[in-house]
Structure formats: structure tokens, C-alpha cells
């Protein structure tokens, strides 16, 4: 992955974490909140977080956002 792609992944990851961290309490919400706190206190920690976890968090955020839009419009 090139530097621009890596930066975009991290930006989307942080955005997803911010959304997931304030979602309905669940295991995923607690994990997102803990990871977000870690990154806020030690920004360099983002570089040791596995890309698979980053992608999974982004997909979870997108799924939740899409469901909210579709579920409320029915």
C-alpha cells in the first residue's frame, strides 16, 4: 500500500472509530472506544494496529450507517 492509500485508510479508520465509540453499548463499541483513547493519547499507535482490524472497523461503520438510513426510511 502506498503512503496516500495508507493515510486514507487511517483517516477512514479514525472516522469509523469515532462513530463506533459512541454507538449503542456492545463489545464492538467498547473496543472502538478503547482503541480511540489509545490513539488520542499515543497517535503513533495507529501504525501498529493491524490493517485487517482497521478495515473491519470501517466496514462495521459503513454497515451501521447504511442500515440506519435504510431501516429508518422504511
> At 57, is the pLDDT very low, low, confident or very high (cuts 50, 70, 90)?
very high
Exposed (0-12), middle (13-18) or buried (19+): which is 12, by Cβ within 10 Å? middle
Per the structure, the count of domains in the chain is 1
CA 7 to chain centre: 14
% of the chain with per-residue pLDDT over 90: 80
- Domain of 22 in residue numbering reads as 3-73
Q: What is the pLDDT of residues 10-20, one digit of tens each?
A: 999 999 999 99
% of the chain with per-residue pLDDT over 70: 91
Amino acid at each position: 500500500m502506498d503512503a496516500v492509500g495508507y493515510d486514507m485508510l487511517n483517516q477512514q479508520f479514525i472516522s469509523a472509530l469515532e462513530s463506533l465509540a459512541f454507538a449503542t453499548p456492545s463489545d464492538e463499541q467498547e473496543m472502538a472506544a478503547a482503541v480511540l483513547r489509545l490513539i488520542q493519547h499515543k497517535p503513533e499507535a495507529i501504525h501498529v494496529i493491524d490493517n485487517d482490524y482497521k478495515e473491519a472497523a470501517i466496514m462495521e461503520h459503513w454497515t451501521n450507517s447504511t442500515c440506519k438510513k435504510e431501516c429508518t426510511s422504511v
